[in-house]
């Protein structure tokens, strides 16, 4: 006798009736191991500057960052992602400060690894914090279009990545979207015998409007002005192009692959994981975070419930790791639920 696969023989709600059975059939589980905490660091001492467009997030000096790092490690968060806030006096058309061995990022990396050797340190490889024009690459001053030069930028990025690796960075993360930058960075690292430095490539980084609060946080918004990054970041309308971008970064020697932003691009995360089967990461960007915080502050949403739902959605889509400003809060919420 053939079993009836339909109602009333089949009742999907049976397994949802009790907490224990819901837990037993849960397909995706979020843990602290999935989280990477992005942090903004600036010069000075005992300095904390709240980012007005990102409630709960601040720019901090190294002493404050060390306290955050200790908290992250105690909560089981595997890694921090560093983003520098650079003063106007350090910005230039050539972005030379980006590979200064005595600069902010190398000093912070050295301090983090000295104090927390087991905590992963990821550094951003891009020139926008250091350029006077706010773009991620170099520009010919004589070009009225302000078109970012690709091949010339590669050399600057390679020097920046090597500088970070020499300071002790575990992972360098090129977020610039220049063609060929992963291969150039890998070659530069290998030339210096930095064969174990990992590359987290921002492979599918879209020209998104969700980045606004981040640019405020690192101080590049004012330099960028009315400019945009459409000539090198991806068109939000494209999906197949993202798969091609990731495939190129695989061939060039990256180790990990990022989709950015997060929630509006879950389909891209799923395609990358399913079609290419590589370590896949996603960035829940500043605009996504800010919207949830603003809605929660107005009493329109439950912050914890919605943040955790969003993070689980990234896991369900196929992400192996999530860069999120909710990382420490999420780790605390997960621990409280143990």
- DSSP track, 53-65: TSTT-EEE-HHHH
The active-site residue out of 91, 159, 188, 205 is 205
The active-site residue out of 90, 260, 273, 315 is 260
Nearest to 168 by CA among 82, 240, 90: 82
The CA-atom distances, in angstroms, between 36 and each of 171, 265, 284 are 12, 18, 10
> What is the gyration radius of the CA atoms in the chain, in angstroms?
21
Sign of the alpha-carbon dihedral angle for 221, 39, 32, 23:
negative
Q: How far apart are CA 84 and CA 273, in angstroms?
A: 30
Cβ count near 146 (within 10 Å): 12
99, 160 Cβ separation under 8 angstroms: yes
* Structure token pair of residue 146: 């302000």
The CA-atom distances, in angstroms, between 102 and each of 34, 50, 99, 108, 251 are 32, 26, 9, 10, 33
Q: How far apart are CA 125 and CA 201, in angstroms?
A: 9
> Is 205 among the residues known to form the active site?
yes
Nearest to 235 by CA among 223, 244, 247: 244
Q: How far apart are CA 208 and CA 266, in angstroms?
A: 14
Tokens 């389909």 sit at which residue?
Answer: 267
Q: How far apart are CA 90 and CA 80, in angstroms?
A: 24
> Is 260 among the residues known to form the active site?
yes
| Positions marked active-site | 205, 260
């Amino acid at each position: 006798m053939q079993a009836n696969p339909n109602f009333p023989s089949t009742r999907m709600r049976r397994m949802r009736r009790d907490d224990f059975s819901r837990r037993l059939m849960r397909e995706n589980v979020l843990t602290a191991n999935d989280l990477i905490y992005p942090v903004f660091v600036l010069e000075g001492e005992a300095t904390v500057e709240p980012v007005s467009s990102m409630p709960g997030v601040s720019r901090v000096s190294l002493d404050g960052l060390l306290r955050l790092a200790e908290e992250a490690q105690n909560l089981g968060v595997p890694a921090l992602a560093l983003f520098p806030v650079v003063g106007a006096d350090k910005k230039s058309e050539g972005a030379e400060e980006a590979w200064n061995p005595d600069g902010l990022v190398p000093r912070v990396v050295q301090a983090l690894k000295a104090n927390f050797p087991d905590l992963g340190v990821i550094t951003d490889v891009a020139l926008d914090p250091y350029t006077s024009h706010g773009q991620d690459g170099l520009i010919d001053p004589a070009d009225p279009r302000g078109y970012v030069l690709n091949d010339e930028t590669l050399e600057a990025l390679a020097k920046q990545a090597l500088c970070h690796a020499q300071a002790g960075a575990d992972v360098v993360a090129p977020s610039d979207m220049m063609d060929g930058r992963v291969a150039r960075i890998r070659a530069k690292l290998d030339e210096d015998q930095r064969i174990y430095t990992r590359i987290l490539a921002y492979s599918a980084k879209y020209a998104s409007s969700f980045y606004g609060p981040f640019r405020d946080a690192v101080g590049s918004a004012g330099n960028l002005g009315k400019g945009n990054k459409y000539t090198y970041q991806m068109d939000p309308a494209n999906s197949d192009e993202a798969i091609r971008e990731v495939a190129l970064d695989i061939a060039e020697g990256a180790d990990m692959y990022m989709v950015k932003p997060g929630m509006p691009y879950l389909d891209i995360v799923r395609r990358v994981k399913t079609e290419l089967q590589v370590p896949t990461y996603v960035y829940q960007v500043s605009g996504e975070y800010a919207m949830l915080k603003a809605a929660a502050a107005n009493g329109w949403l439950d912050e914890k419930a919605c943040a955790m739902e969003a993070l689980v959605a990234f896991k369900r889509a196929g992400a192996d790791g999530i860069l999120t400003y909710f990382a420490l809060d999420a780790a605390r919420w997960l621990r409280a639920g143990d």
